Chains A and B, each alone.
Chain A
Amino acid sequence: MLEADNLECVRGERRLFAGLGFQLEAGELLYLQGKNGAGKTSLLRMLIGLLPPEAGEIRWRGKAIRQQSDEFRADLCYLGHLNAIKEELTPLENLLAAARLADETLSEDDAIDALEQVGLAGREDLACKYLSQGQKRRVALARLVKEKRPLWILDEPFVALDVAAVDWLAGIISGHLQRGGLAVMTTHQLVDIAAGRVRELRLS
């Protein structure tokens, strides 16, 4: 479903990678590995369409993502380094606003349920600026709980999480894969995720 063909990435004067390609089908997980600066985040930003590749093409459901950007983004859920939450809004408002902007339907009960699952019960109505770094990360991750879109692209999702939260997130991701979703993620720590098939791609 997601195919990358002969991708080349140049940042500044440096070529980070060239001739990179892979294929990912429903239910499959792709681990991106590599040293700092190997181009993992750049590759993810290419896959979500924010960074045009120097050469090569990315296809989603057989069609180049550049030619179907709105349809492709309707299938895409991206979680980056930054939490993309607003400090002034409460966790609940953040979740609801994110869902509205992504054109998804998320009821208030579902959002509260998602926040409970990430351990923020009772803090739904506290502005996010009063939360700790780890809690803010959990607000960002709470988006994944009710996420129905098939393609998840996650940049270092396990960073700053405690052991229990890592297990919980691994469960959420494998649930997504079992429903026939796809996931691409970068990570430095290998986490056991039950998936139909796990592929690994090492950038060097």
Chain B
Amino acid sequence: MLKIVMAVITRDLKLAMRRQADIVSALFFFIIVVSLFPLGVGPEPDLLRKLAPGVLWVAALLATMLSLPRLFADDHRDGTLEQLALAPYPLGLVVTGKVIAHWLVSGLPLALIAPVLGIQFDLSADALLVLTLAILLGTPALSGIGAIGAALTLGLRGGGVLLSLLVLPLYIPVLIFGAGAVDATVTGLGGEGHLSLLAALTFASIGFAPWASAAALKIALE
């Protein structure tokens, strides 16, 4: 079982490495959107500290959205999705591999760059640490939930916009707890509760989302 997940992850990572432009553009999108806010609202430390969690999280959601339409579309177009569906394992495991690979190339870089961007918002070291942890814990849920949307809109014309409309509302809990964790740290309440809830969301969506996506993919392949 683990073998097929690993096989899918290594294949997808290899493909991502050959197409680095995709990873880099999503990352730069994140950096630029986040950096526009301090420039736009002016250098007021109090205001920036208040804005930081929300801005960073909304930008992370949007940056994740950028790469979602291609999660299954490329494989669908060249026929490899059929072959993946014909692998002698449940399709949910294959999708689990794809979700993990998607997180490694889209969510993980965001978490790594987030503390650097947080400095622009005058966040304290504690808050930066919690911010990184929150993005690290929350982005797998974004990849998982996004996979359901990507599978449901596979092969539709104008699927990209529909995908955003489907997925962004489902991202709201992650946004609330993710931004809440940083907020709570800034105000001195401690973000542990929020982080635990984020971890719970991530585990639930990594466990459940691949199977829901697999069901949607089977319909798309009919």
Contact = CB atoms under 8 A, between A and B. Distances in A.
Contacts of B90: 70
Interface stretch (A46-54, A109-117, A158-166): A46-54
Nearest to B15: A88
A98 B3 CA distance: 13
A48 B4 contact: no
A102 B87 contact: yes
Interface string B56-93: 00000000000000000000011110111111111000
Contacts of A103: 3-4, 87-89
A84 interface: yes
Interface stretch (A18-26, A71-79, A190-198): A71-79
A81 B79 contact: yes
Give the interface centre of B7, B19, B221 by most chain A CB atoms within 10 Å.
Answer: B7
Contacts of A76: 86
A202 to B, nearest CB: 25
B82 A73 contact: no
Contact of A50 (B7, B14, B77, B85): B85
Give the interface centre of B15, B19, B221 by most chain A CB atoms within 10 Å.
Answer: B15
A133 interface: no
A101 B85 contact: no
A50 B88 contact: no
A97 interface: yes
Contacts, number: 75
Contacts of A97: 7, 11, 14
Given A88-B19, A101-B4, A101-B11, A50 B82 contact: yes
Interface string B11-37: 100110011000000000000000000
Contacts of B4: 101, 103
A74 B88 contact: yes
B222 A52 contact: yes
A50 B221 contact: yes
Interface residues of A, number: 30
What's the interface size class on B, roughly? 20 to 34
B56 to A, nearest CB: 32
Contacts of A85: 78, 80
A83 interface: yes
Nearest to B87: A101
A127 B14 CA distance: 13
B84 A82 contact: no
A89 interface: yes
Given A89-B14, A103-B3, A80 B89 contact: no
B11 A82 contact: no
B87 A82 contact: no
A97 B78 CA distance: 15
Interface string A84-124: 11111100010001101111000000000000000000000
Contacts of B88: 70-71, 73-74, 102-103
B61 to A, nearest CB: 28
A52 B222 CA distance: 8
B8 interface: yes
Contacts of A82: 77-79, 82
Given A52-B222, A103-B4, A103-B88, 12 more contacts: A49-B86, A50-B82, A70-B89, A74-B88, A76-B86, A78-B82, A84-B83, A89-B14, A98-B83, A101-B4, A102-B87, A127-B18
